[in-house]
Amino acid sequence: MMKMLSRSQFRWIAALMALMVVLVACTDDAPSDLRGCKEASEGSEEEIYVMGRGCAQGVVLKDFAHGEEGETQGENGAAEDHGEDTNAEDHSEAAPAGEGAEEEHSEGEGSAEGAEAEGEAEATETPDDAGAHTGYQLTSAQAPQVASAPQQAAGDVVDVLAEIRAASIVGELIVAQGLDAALREAEAVTIFAPINSVFTRLDEDVLADLTTDSDILNQILTYHVVPGVVLAADLSDGQTLETLQGETLTVTQEGNFFLINGARIIQPDRLASNGAVHLINDVLLPSVAVELIPEPNPADQGPPVVDVPTGEVDPAMVQGLFNPNGHAFPTSVTLAGSFQDELGCANDWAPECEATFMEYNAGNDIWSATLEVPAGEWEYKAALNATWDVSYGANANAAGGSSNVTLSLDEDERVTFFYDHKTGWVTDNVNSVVATLPGTFNSEIGCPPFAHTGDWEPSCLRMWLQDSDGDGIYTFMTPRIPAGDYLVKVAINRDWGENYGVDGARGGADIPFNVPADRTLMVFAFNPRNGLLTIAAGGTVELTPEEEEAMAVRGAAGNIALQQAHWVAAPTIAWQVDVEEGYTYRLFWAAEATLELTEEGLVGGESVELTPVPEGISVEAAAKFPHLADLPAFALPADALPQVPDILKGQLAVAAFDADGMLINATGLQIPGVLDDLFTYGGALGTTWDGEVPTVAVWAPTAQNVQFHLFADETGEASAVLPMELDPATGVWSITGEPGWKYQYYLFEVTVFVPSTGAVEVNLVTDPYSYSLAMGSTRSQLVDLRDSALAPEGWDTLVKPQNFEAFEDIVIYEMHVRDFSIFDERVPEELRGKYLAFALEGSAGIAHLRALQAVGLTHLHLLPAFDVASVLEDPAARAEPDSAALASFPADSDEQRALINEVRDLDAQNWGYDPFHFTAPEGSYATDPSGITRILEFRQMVMALNQLGLNVVMDVVYNHTNQAGQGERSVFDRIVPGYYHRLNETGGVHTSTCCPNTASEHNMFRKFMVDSLLTWTTEYKIDGYRFDLMGHHMVEDMLAVQEALQALTIADDGVDGRRVYLYGEGWNFGEVENNARGTNATQLNLAGTGIGTFSDRLRDAVRGGSPVRDSASEQGFITLAGIVPNAAVTDEAAEAERMLLFMDQIRVGLAGNLATYTFENREGERVAGANIPYGGNQRPLVITWTHKNTSTTSKSTITKRSSIGWCSRCPPKSRWKRRSGRIGWGRAFVLLSQGRALHPCRAGHPALQVL
């Protein structure tokens, strides 16, 4: 007797197998790698390949058991269809859904193309304008095909099974039962191995009855083994296979798949030296095992059984389904967990970190986030309102101490996380099936019309099936479907690529159901293991008004916790909302943040009516905010304009009402545009001095009040709390102090409405214009940078090195302040890693710099040395690695890394790309991190380097901050919330740089950037600036910086600003890509400005590979591409062609990457540099740089070379001496090309000796 495992049988066998794993793993004589194997195996599925028609064309399922499907391209380059239904009907407008048409929705790709981070998806029509649910159709029946040619694996079947993480449990059971020796010795065997996810449901009640009979387990395991090598190509419908256990297996064909006793082969042909392994999605039961297990409940063999209440449904139950813990709708949701540090947060388990904030999508009424999560074992929760006051963990549990959600990734993966506040369920698309219910009722429960009417929308998450109790059955309940007849299907991954219809058939017919009466609680339950959907009608629902509001279709009337409208200028608001005849629109505000969104409308504040502006926003506003240029515009009444400054100090919202006065939409506002319009200020901010009397000013136009906290020292209580005075015309608050205030500390107390919390907050915050700080950056310090006590002797008469006539002569060497001396034993211990190490004679570092300067080095580029957020400044709290211990290990040892890892979070090593205060030197590099020492010693460092003959370049990072919102290291956003950062369409902060992106296109952040750079140039005599991710600034910003610096003169400012060199990373990506937020400072856009950009063209051609793709083994010119291929090369002819193209790119690079430079290319043709492709693009290779200080115009760019792991690209037998020679060869291209040479290496690196 042969049977497929039923639901209850599955639980029994899974319990047995899981227990056997644990028992074996915990015995003293068990192999060490088996310990904890049950825990390690869960959630660690490999890629599973579908055996069938789709697989032959490149279809890959990621974790098939969880329903994640992807696709690759077919031979013609177009995405192949994955349909299974050859008879799907084409439903045109003549037979719309829900009007009697017998619709059938086959699998295909005709709908949403996938979930974006915001949870929305664009719909793509199928051929002939068929409905999105129809999908593509096969033109003829096709037999199953093998995915790809099997590849021989090293090792026998036991070894191969051990390497397959997706089937690790079966492999461990075989070893535990002692079957591995026989399988290794077998001449030829084939194993049908169930994947791990089959064993994830345990029934502890049966464990005691099944743990004593090892023979049963042996029979189950050997029932999965067939003598001989049986490949997928050998299978046929109706075939029988005799097993080692003695009984037979039956092969059947179902559509495009082969099944073994009903278990589908989901990855065929994992070959071994003595056989093959096929992965299957179920356990196979021999008759002896079936006889010993009680007959299953018939209901377990069909659709899932769900308890459905009848009669009048208890309102408490319904309330329990919709926001079960009764918590108010959040203003933010954070994925707080063990992976936050890897995703750009300062710490793990940090609910305030905006880098892992989820975004709310009103159309779906769901919070979501898509993040690049590295491989590893992770845990997380959903934390509400940026605190731990309310958080949800596994199984939608908000109770204190509830379990975390676990996430296991074998490799780096793009993971989408979801949180539903109605149910409290937080999950991700790795742990859970993402299943929805597209059908003819979707619009009734609030699905917006993504592409059609709101019906048949698989991407809508308002009918999201959820498994909040973790039993493997996904349910959705709603009383909102009106009485009537409807059709439905189950869609996986929010599109039609995988869907289930009648009888659980994949791509099957639509499932009909009836709602007997309005307010009937309809229950949908889906079993992803067999595709079956149960639909049941419960009793009727009667709710109190409060419960009615809790169950309301949130989002249909908007959400004022989001900021989806834009106040672009004092008289104008832009908002993506329907503009209809008879509709009215109003602006609402409330100083005390009392606005509340109800079904009746917005209550709790004041309002004025807005008038639609048919021509849209002004030309000026569109130029400033090109991403808003096409939005509908609305005008404030003229008599309301004088109130705008006061209106801006409170909570804001706009609302739309239909002709009957019913609220149809509402949202909050983003306000940078109106703040720039009304409050752009050109005067001094921060601390200025009139003799010994300081004046402190801060720009805070939305603040309701600002007070000044004065401290005598960096740790004591405030000696005074004083009011600051507002200039209503500029939004600047200021206070004039007394002579005795010098060197004391201060903080601002800012009372301001914060959109992210929905409340008026009182923030105690440092000054963004801080010039000096307390240790740990806890307080700003009142200092006068012109004070002679803060300058080394000779500072005012310092003569800058005159080692270049034009910027073409510059040679730049990159260095980290700490790393320059931290392990140099010739430097006194107290000065190692400090600014003052640069002012010492006799150290290894200074000797090296002197040698480099003697052979042509002109500029030393220091990695970020402003105040950074992630370095502990208190030396007592830090721990440095033991340099002697590091030196004691062999050069190829792993021990150095282990030793450094022990103090990774405690030492002072950090590249510094996490700015805290942009215009104060970093305290950890000073001998005393408290107060003014950092200023004096930074200047001593600059002076010493200048006297050594080297100009100093500073690496600046104005493109992002360490934190935004209410985070403790957030400065700007706690003073003027929502202004200084670049916001997305819902008011969240963009983080494409890694961290909260700043918005230099906003006037007052541009002013801050210019002011900060002027301070570094005049007060610290910096000679050049390297801009991190410069492409995230606008060209207008960079030109403003350039103009301000070039206006500096030695007579008036002590420096010649015309000799200050500006360059940076002109990469084009993120929300600013292709000028989306204005003309951004990229390679192409900066041509002719005199501002340099890095060139990736010459770098990639000379070295090989690229940092923006996985290309560590790609060879280049100096790594002998096309000449001595390494092991990664599979097509030597194509590699030779690549080498010829590299040679053309190098020729252009040597000529300064001039678009107009002409030469004879690899084809023997005369061509211009602009016509040499890079990355598949026929466009100018690099941005030209125009030198404006001489009588001639010279165009060039910066050529960047990066240190790399040469072994990965070099031929296999190259020795280090030859490889190091190639490093020198590569640097020769940099030094001899027509551009500025930058060497981003560290002191003491062997490669430096070639200069």
Gap between the Cα atoms of 592 and 604, Å rounded: 9
SS3 850: helix
- The tokens for 1002 are 């906003």
In this predicted structure, what is the pLDDT of residue 1166? Answer: 93
Nearest to 487 by CA among 521, 520, 513: 513
Give the least confident one: 22-36, 470-484, 559-573, 611-625.
Answer: 22-36
Q: What is the mean pLDDT of residues 507-534?
A: 88
Catalytic residue, from 1037, 1065, 1100, 1144: name it. Answer: 1065
- Is the pTM higher than 0.75? The answer reads no
Same fold, 3-48+146-301 and 559-677: no
Least confident segment among 291-300, 1007-1016, 1233-1242: 291-300
Residue 829 CA: distances (Å) to CA of 657, 821, 825, 1242 = 71, 9, 7, 20
CA distance 1251 to 1249: 6
Residue 511 has pLDDT above 50, yes or no: yes
| Mean pLDDT for the stretch of residues 890-896 | 80
Phi and psi torsions of 597, nearest 5°: -95, 120
Q: Of the ranges 157-161, 849-853, 901-905, 1015-1019, which one carries the lowest mean pLDDT score? A: 901-905
Which of 413-427, 796-810, 899-913 shows the lowest mean pLDDT across its residues?
A: 899-913
How far is Cα 456 from Cα 488, in angstroms, rounded to an integer? 8
pLDDT confidence of residue 994: 87
Query: Per-residue pLDDT for 803 more than 90?
Result: yes
The model's confidence at residue 1184, banded by pLDDT at 50, 70 and 90, is very low
Question: Alpha-carbon distance 793 to 937, whole Å?
Answer: 12
d(CA 481, CA 514): 10
Q: Which residues contact 422 (CB under 8 A, 6 or more apart)?
A: 321, 322, 323, 365, 551, 554
Instruction: Report the CATH architecture of 680-765.
Output: Sandwich (2.60)
Per-residue pLDDT reduced to its tens digit, 12-43: 334 434 333 333 333 333 332 222 222 223 33
Q: Is the pLDDT of residue 923 over 90?
A: yes
Q: What pLDDT, on a 0 to 100 scale, did the predictor assign at position 255? A: 60
Quick: pLDDT tens for 391-407: 999 887 766 557 899 99
Give tens-digit pLDDT for 1067-1118: 998 999 999 999 999 988 998 899 998 877 778 888 887 765 556 678 888 8
pLDDT-wise least confident of 105-109, 351-355, 460-464: 105-109
H or E element in which residue 912 lies: none
High-pLDDT (> 70) share of the chain, %: 75
Which DSSP string do the residues of 776-841 spell out, in sequence order? GG-SEE---TT-GGGS-TTGGGPPPP---SSGGG-EEEEE-TTTTTTT-TTS-GGGTTSGGGGG-S
| Catalytically annotated residue among 269, 365, 767, 1028 | 1028
For the domain spanning 559-677, the CATH number is 2.60.40.1130
What is residue 84's predicted lDDT score, i.e. its pLDDT?
32
Domain ranges of the chain: 3-48+146-301, 312-550, 559-677, 680-765, 1109-1250
Higher pLDDT, residue 1019 or 1136: 1019
Residues forming a β-bridge with 1168: 1158
User: Is the pLDDT assigned to residue 101 strictly greater than 90?
Assistant: no
At residue 506, the pLDDT reads: 86
pLDDT of 111 strictly over 70: no
Q: pLDDT confidence of 1154, banded at 50, 70, 90? A: confident
**What integer pLDDT is reported at residue 697 of this predicted model?**
99
Q: What is the mean pLDDT of the chain?
A: 78
**pLDDT score of 1176 more than 80:** no
At the second CATH level, the architecture of 3-48+146-301 is Roll (2.30)
Is it the case that residue 540 has pLDDT exceeding 90?
A: no
Residue 243's pLDDT is 95
What average pLDDT does the segment 579-599 reach? 91
269-289 per-position pLDDT tens digit? 888 999 999 988 778 888 877
1028 tagged catalytic: yes
Distance of alpha carbon 1248 from alpha carbon 1251, whole angstroms:
6
Residue 39 has a pLDDT of 29
Among the residue ranges 459-468, 530-539, 568-577, the one predicted with the least confidence is 530-539
- pLDDT given at position 775: 97
| Higher-confidence position of 30 and 710 | 710
Query: What is the pLDDT, as a whole number, of residue 92?
Result: 30
**Mean pLDDT of the 1187-1201 span:** 28
pLDDT on residue 1133: 87
pLDDT band at 1177 (very low <50, low <70, confident <90, very high): very low
pLDDT of residue 1237: 58
pLDDT at 935 > cutoff 90: yes
Q: Which two tokens stand for residue 1000?
A: 């230099």
Cα 993 to Cα 997: distance, rounded to the nearest angstrom: 6
Say if CB 745 and CB 714 are below 8 A apart: yes
Question: Is 60 exceeded by the pLDDT of residue 71?
Answer: no
First to last CA, the chain: 79
Q: Are 210 and 292 in contact (CB under 8 A)?
A: no
Assess whether pLDDT exceeds 70 at residue 141.
no
Residue 682 confidence (pLDDT) above 90? yes
pLDDT of amino acid 1108:
58
Residue 57: per-residue pLDDT? 24
Contact 570, 680 (CB under 8 A): no
Q: pLDDT value at position 620?
A: 96
Supply the CATH classification number for the domain 312-550.
2.60.40.10
